[in-house]
Amino acid sequence: MMSFSLLWFMSSLVMIICGLWGFINYHKHLLNSLLSLEFMMLGVFWLLILQISSMSKEMYFVLFFLTLVACEGALGLSLLVLIVRSHGSDYFSVINILEC
């Protein structure tokens, strides 16, 4: 029988791989890309918790990482709102880089 920490380790790796798969396959919309990136960061967060708790160190770095992930999510959502307001949708094919 597998130990509980090994099960958490494998589930966090599966979360990272599923997020990467979603980022690669569903790249037509900006919202899908942002959601898959957040899912990957959640998997990295679980891996970080497992590593730091196994070494019995302080959890301040995990809180700092979680703060950065939350800021990244807020920045991504603000860019999504800006793109939808200026271009009408979040399709990457609609967004023209050369347009001012």
Summarize pLDDT for 50-83 with one digit per residue, the tens. 888 878 777 788 888 889 999 999 999 999 899 8
Check: CB of residue 66 under 8 Å from CB of residue 38: no
H or E segment and range at residue 76 = helix 60-87
Share above pLDDT 90 across residues of the chain, in percent, rounded to a whole number: 38
Q: What is the pLDDT of residue 9?
A: 87
pLDDT value at 100 more than 80: no
Q: What is the pLDDT of residue 78?
A: 94
Q: What is the pLDDT of residue 2?
A: 61
Q: What is the pLDDT of residue 77?
A: 92
Type of residue numbered 36:
S
34, 53, 65, 44: CA torsion to nearest 10: -20
